[in-house]
Structure 1
Amino acid sequence: MKKVLSRAVIATLLFGTTLGLFSYSDPGERYFAIVKNLDIFASLFKEVNTYYVDEVNPNDLMKVGIDAMLNSLDPYTNYIPEDQIEDFRTMTTGEYGGIGALVGKRNGYNTVLMPYEGYPAHKEGLRIGDVILKIDGIEINQKDNEDISKLLKGQANTKVALTIKRYGAKEPFDVTLVREHITVNNVPYYGMVGDEVGYIKLSDFTTGASREVRQAVMNLKQEGAKKLVIDLRDNPGGLLIEAVNIANLFIPKGSEVVSTKGKMRESNQMYHALDQPLDLTIPLTVLVSSRSASAAEIVAGVLQDYDRAVVIGSKTFGKGLVQTTRPLSYNSQLKVTTAKYYIPSGRCIQAIDYSHRDFEGNAGKVADSLKIKFLTKNGRPVYDGGGIDPDLAVEQESLSPIAVSLLANGHIFDYATEYHARHPKIAPAASYQFTDAEYAEFVKWLANKDYDYTTQVEESIEELEAAAKHEKSFNSIKPQLDALRKQFAHDKSRDLQEYQTDIRELLKREIVSRYYLQNGTIEISFNTDPEVKKAKEVLAAPQQYSQFLGRK
């Protein structure tokens, strides 16, 4: 029997013995403390492996211990063992050998969620909704995503055989794909969203991101774009140098872009715009969300600090920490936080203070009272310690409970798959409509499907009942609670009509993805996307645009 100790125990064993390291001011004492604690840990590790009552896997034990120790610092300082180096390289370069498809769980099955256009999965006709039963004859239903990814990836020009179950097909069938060198685009889409407005979706900052953005801007200008929307929503960031080069496209050569400050001398760097800009005058808007982080925040923050773009959307994530990879023995690596970054106004947008934790070990956000005011080039106030605040905030509309339930239970996804099997063609993505008659068919299709949900009012009634029971007043108000529960009980038929606008939009996007893949899902959103609509409004009003940027 193998058994791995809990993370808490390992954290105590591995990290608890080193707590004294940070109290030493004399280098000699600190060096002695390091040697001493490493010796204690090596002895402890040996004794646990020898005497623990159950068999212990040394590799697993050490990995859990290292992870627990590093997690006490921040979420971005990570140990990367040799067998995960390829995955890490893919994250930073956007390149790997594989079939070019996003695969994930749907309704408990490993399903093709998106074949990337022009790559093996797409060329061999795999569709969204195809269930993968076997890879090279290996049953995969009980395997996790990491194992499935390893089976699908491999050297370019090698073959991989998939057994596919497709909706409408009588029997599963086999398809053999030849793996290729896959490069995930940082700019999955660009196009015109108005007569003079170009749109660029930037989803990552892996190698080549700035080159892709440059080319997209040039192509859009050739198509007649005189204004730009750069969409950084949900962009998790990536390579710092790509953020510097993208900002450089729109600010003067020689301008400060970002500086990094850390403990080691080599961590203190200043990055400037080294190249001639692509365009210093084209009106810009930048879209951000709460999941825009790191390099995405640098680009948005730099363009805001220089009053070069109007930032629209929600407050960003607030990751102002820089990571560097350091080689370790046995081909492993350490990704370690080495510095904080500061954008031109002087602010650091790091939201969580990992160096100060409460008695339970939890890190908190920088208090509003400790945030410092800085100024943009035109004198507009901006603040540090909590992400990038948009110049124009757009309130996020939440989905209705019934729409969330239909999504979570896979009914939107499944219906789109069946719809695709019945309809060989649909209108272009930008003009596709889901008719009233088709919605009525969908409602009928749902009749025997299992799904349920709880509305906010119903949740409030349950909370009120729990409070009443706690305060021993339940019996006196039970009749009123029962009446409220009956009055506000959700009705599926009613909700399917009341919230059909939400549900129809979800259906449209999912259906369009079956025919036009990634590009289609982006194009169909333009007419209803609140941030894109706001960006177009701001760009269409030069005086308002100038006011946002503090121009006189």
Structure 2
Amino acid sequence: MIIWSAILFLILIIIMSGFSLYLLSDKEIYLPYRLTSTMELIKFLYPESYNPSKMMELARDALFGQLDRYSGYLEPKELGRVTEEFSGSYGGIGITIVSQDQGLMVMSVREDGPAARAGMKSGDIIYKVDSTNVKGVNAYRATFLLRGSEGSPVELGVLRKFNNIADTLQFELTRQRLPLIHVPYAGITPGGSLYIRLLDFEAGSAMEVFAALDSLYLRNPDSIRGIIFDLRGNPGGLLTEAVSIAGLFMKKGKIVVGMKGRSRWNNTVFRAQGDDIADGLPIALLVDKGSASSSEILAGSLRYAGRAFLVGDTTFGKGLVQEFDDLGDGSGLRITTARYYFEGNIFLNDPKAAVKDSAPGIPPDYYYQATEYEPFPLELESSLLMREYAIENQDRIAADSGVISTNPGWLDDFRNYMYQHGFDYESQLSREIGAAVIEAHLDSAKEETIAAANRLYNVSRREDSSQFTGYKEYIRQRLFQVALETKFGVAESYRRAIVPYRWDIALAEQIFKESKKN
């Protein structure tokens, strides 16, 4: 017993000696002491200027200013918001944001929220919230400007770029409480595929996905041609939820996702725990630039393992993993700790480079540009006229058998409604030519120059006037969708107005057919 006590004492001495040597060799160990000593000296010499809370806030901002935009200090209320989003419901306008040079960039727009109904899109840049300029404001702090009591108004100033041309828009929104419904719809398409719309990866999302698979596929697998996951505008959420969903479709032991951190303690590999429940059934993932974080984990893990193909646009491109740490006083830290990678050691974010704000994103196997991102639909959506008309005429519109109606009278009626409410689409090209015409008059340009500019302007305006005809199928589908959603609910609008008419879904099903032939 005495011998064992002596051995343990000797080991303790060695450990303590090593720790002491480490402390003595770490020159940075004195930096916090230097900071507190400086503050004490300021307190003594400049008592009237001594404000420890403000000093610490400035020090924190300077500290996190050296890191990536996803890392930051969380005030107690901000840390509480994170917990709230992961577990229940939240009030706001339904967008996910990150800091950007010009303001706050919208990563994704929740389809059932106020921002989506007003026509906001991924990639929009918010430069003002009410009267507050948010350029340079931390995204977590800006969230409190965007949030407020349910039913309260908020006005946003937004920059929107299309083909490298920026436009300024104003949105007046009403905040609402947003329940976290992860799978608003799952059903069988007319082509025999299982379609699952996944809005996020918060707690419970994997369970909802499995429930959809269980009821619509596992009980009758031979009737399903392929599985389509719709991840458009999905901002992500919990890593564990994405891992759980991806693991359902991969062979046991396959890498779902790996995380490579700054130290060996941050290196983790998640592997599939069971067999592929779909037994190799083809999978399509619908993605766009609003598909971020855990959406990219699901997309990347299945794609690079050879289990799925991507249809749509390049994903947001984050490639980084964050951890939340509670500091014990109610506040906390959100710190980027690792980059993630997929089968084949494929990283989204270059592992040899310093941490970057974003990665290139995952490119689709089959590119598809959604119609709603084009200028005319964007402006029409922002006017809210389609939503207002569809709600006012929901009985008439919903009574039709489908989007391709034999009685398009309500579409012509909407066109008149649109003009009566002052909607006059003017393209960016028309605005620029119009400005050039005014400038030519002010500069007393030659008559032939002014005449030529006027001719160009008239040609451009005629093109603007033809946009309604060019997008009438899209307009008809959107009116039908809103009418069904208002009268019967979200699921019915998906079943009758969205799934049968989405071109990206049709493309995925065509690829399923081709793969079966091969």
Q: TM-score scaled by structure 1?
A: 0.66
SS of match in other structure, 2:246: helix
Alpha carbons of 1:91 and 1:50: their partners in 2 closer, same or farther (altered >3 Å)?
Answer: farther
8 A contact 1:401–1:453 mirrored in 2 = no
- Output the amino acid matched with 1:536: E
Residue 186 (structure 1) aligned with residue 168 (structure 2): no
Residue 536 (structure 1) aligned with residue 504 (structure 2): no
**By how many angstroms is 1:248 displaced?**
1.0
- Output the amino acid matched with 1:307: G
CA distance in 2, matches of 1:238, 1:27: 41
8 A contact 2:231–2:291 mirrored in 1 = yes
**By how many angstroms is 1:199 displaced?**
0.7
CA distance in 2, matches of 1:351, 1:478: 53
1:31 — aligned with what? 29
**By how many angstroms is 1:84 displaced?**
2.8
1:206 — aligned with what? 202
Alpha carbons of 1:347 and 1:308: their partners in 2 closer, same or farther (altered >3 Å)?
Answer: same
CA deviation profile, 1:425-460 (whole Å, cap 9, x unmatched): 824896685942112222222343133443243245
2:307 — aligned with what? 308
SS of match in other structure, 2:67: coil
8 A contact 2:232–2:290 mirrored in 1 = yes
SS of match in other structure, 1:488: helix
2:76 — aligned with what? 82
2:171 — aligned with what? none
1:70 — aligned with what? 64
**By how many angstroms is 1:114 displaced?**
5.1
8 A contact 1:405–1:451 mirrored in 2 = no
SS of match in other structure, 1:485: helix
8 A contact 2:70–2:336 mirrored in 1 = yes
1:480 — aligned with what? 452
Match for 2:483 among 511, 516, 540?
511
CA distance in 2, matches of 1:60, 1:448: 55
2:416 — aligned with what? 444
CA distance in 2, matches of 1:390, 1:147: 35
**By how many angstroms is 1:193 displaced?**
0.6
Extract unaligned runs of 5+ from structure 1: 1-25, 105-112, 117-127, 130-140, 153-161, 164-179, 357-362, 366-384, 547-552
CA distance in 2, matches of 1:434, 1:248: 46
CA deviation profile, 1:445-479 (whole Å, cap 9, x unmatched): 2343133443243245368779999xx99658443
Alpha carbons of 1:188 and 1:34: their partners in 2 closer, same or farther (altered >3 Å)?
Answer: same
* Percent of pairs with identical residues: 24
**By how many angstroms is 1:291 displaced?**
1.5
Residue 267 (structure 1) aligned with residue 263 (structure 2): no
8 A contact 2:225–2:512 mirrored in 1 = no
2:214 — aligned with what? 218
Alpha carbons of 1:185 and 1:434: their partners in 2 closer, same or farther (altered >3 Å)?
Answer: farther
**By how many angstroms is 1:400 displaced?**
5.7
8 A contact 1:354–1:364 mirrored in 2 = no
2:157 — aligned with what? none
2:369 — aligned with what? 395
8 A contact 1:252–1:280 mirrored in 2 = no
CA distance in 2, matches of 1:445, 1:501: 17
**By how many angstroms is 1:512 displaced?**
2.3
CA distance in 1, matches of 2:42, 2:351: 34
8 A contact 1:400–1:502 mirrored in 2 = no
8 A contact 1:190–1:201 mirrored in 2 = yes
Greater CA deviation, 502-511 or 484-493?
A: 484-493
Alpha carbons of 1:495 and 1:206: their partners in 2 closer, same or farther (altered >3 Å)?
Answer: closer
Task: State how 1:401-550 maps to structure 2 within 5 Å.
Answer: 401-420=375-394, 423=395, 426-427=398-399, 433=405, 435-459=407-431, 461=433, 477-490=449-462, 494-523=466-495, 524-543=497-516
Alpha carbons of 1:481 and 1:519: their partners in 2 closer, same or farther (altered >3 Å)?
Answer: same
- Output the amino acid matched with 2:86: T
- Output the amino acid matched with 2:30: F
CA distance in 2, matches of 1:281, 1:453: 48
**By how many angstroms is 1:510 displaced?**
2.3
SS of match in other structure, 1:243: helix
- Output the amino acid matched with 1:535: A
1:369 — aligned with what? none
- Output the amino acid matched with 2:306: D
1:169 — aligned with what? none
RMSD in angstroms over aligned alpha carbons? 4.4
8 A contact 2:235–2:290 mirrored in 1 = yes
8 A contact 1:73–1:355 mirrored in 2 = no
8 A contact 1:400–1:499 mirrored in 2 = no
SS of match in other structure, 1:540: helix
CA distance in 1, matches of 2:63, 2:438: 40
SS of match in other structure, 1:395: coil
Residue 197 (structure 1) aligned with residue 169 (structure 2): no
CA distance in 2, matches of 1:288, 1:409: 26
2:5 — aligned with what? none
SS of match in other structure, 1:542: helix
**By how many angstroms is 1:410 displaced?**
2.1
- Output the amino acid matched with 2:317: G
Greater CA deviation, 343-352 or 411-420?
A: 343-352
1:109 — aligned with what? none
Extract unaligned runs of 5+ from structure 2: 1-23, 96-110, 119-129, 133-141, 153-176
Alpha carbons of 1:541 and 1:49: their partners in 2 closer, same or farther (altered >3 Å)?
Answer: farther
CA deviation profile, 1:462-506 (whole Å, cap 9, x unmatched): 68779999xx99658443223322332358765444543333233
CA deviation profile, 1:395-414 (whole Å, cap 9, x unmatched): 34466644433322222222
CA distance in 2, matches of 1:208, 1:65: 38
8 A contact 2:252–2:274 mirrored in 1 = yes
8 A contact 2:371–2:377 mirrored in 1 = no
1:296 — aligned with what? 295
Tell me the number of residue pairs that the alignment of Structure 1 and Structure 2 aligns: 431
**By how many angstroms is 1:337 displaced?**
0.5
Q: TM-score scaled by structure 2?
A: 0.70
